[in-house]
């Protein structure tokens, strides 16, 4: 993937791809990653290395069960679409660290129980900001 290191948009939607190769982290300029309706079960562990990523769409990737803790390292991520991800509740633990998040599209079935976390007030404040969207 060295030849593709300057790619800014990668659309693998509806390809049936089952996983992201570890070399995805080499795409240092990647701003948009489209994984809508794929067969992906997990994102690459080095997803957090995509420091320029602003748009992540995993909508319809129904097998996706974990978005790794490293997703919280995506400080420039402004749009996240996790609709139709059956087990996307694992995402909630790091989602409040996404300081640039402006648009969150998620299924209505995710339990939003922040009472278990020590940062309840901060998270409730962030969720309040999301409610404006």
Over residues 81-102, the pLDDT tens digits come to 988 876 555 566 667 788 999 9
What would the pLDDT profile of 10-62 be if each residue is shown by its tens digit?
A: 999 999 888 888 889 999 999 999 999 988 888 888 888 999 999 999 888 77
Q: How far is CA 8 from CA 32, 39, 53, 71, in A?
A: 6, 22, 9, 18
Q: How far is CA 128 from the centre of its chain?
A: 20
Structural domain of 49:
2-130
Return d(Cα 106, Cα 82) in angstroms, integer. Answer: 5
Nearest partner of 19 among 42, 37, 3, 2, judged by Cα? 42
Question: What is the predicted pLDDT for the residue at 104?
Answer: 87
Look up the CATH number of the domain holding residue 81.
3.80.10.10
**Number of separate domains in the chain:** 1
Q: Which two tokens stand for residue 78?
A: 């402004």
Whole-number Å distance between alpha carbons of 82 and 26: 23
CA-CA distance, 4 to 130, in Å (whole number)? Answer: 34
């Amino acid at each position: 993937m060295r030849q593709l290191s300057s790619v800014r948009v990668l659309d693998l939607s509806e390809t049936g791809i089952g996983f992201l190769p570890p070399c995805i982290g080499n795409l240092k300029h990647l701003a948009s990653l489209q994984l809508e309706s794929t067969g992906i079960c997990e994102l690459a562990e080095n997803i957090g290395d995509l420091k320029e990523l602003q748009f992540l769409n995993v909508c319809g990737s129904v097998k996706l069960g974990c978005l790794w803790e490293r997703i919280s390292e995506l400080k420039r991520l402004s749009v996240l679409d996790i609709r139709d991800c059956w087990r996307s509740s694992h995402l909630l633990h790091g989602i409040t660290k996404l300081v640039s998040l402006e648009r969150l599209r998620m299924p209505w079935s995710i339990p939003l129980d922040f009472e278990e976390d020590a940062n309840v007030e901060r998270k409730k404040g962030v969720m309040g900001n999301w409610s404006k969207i």
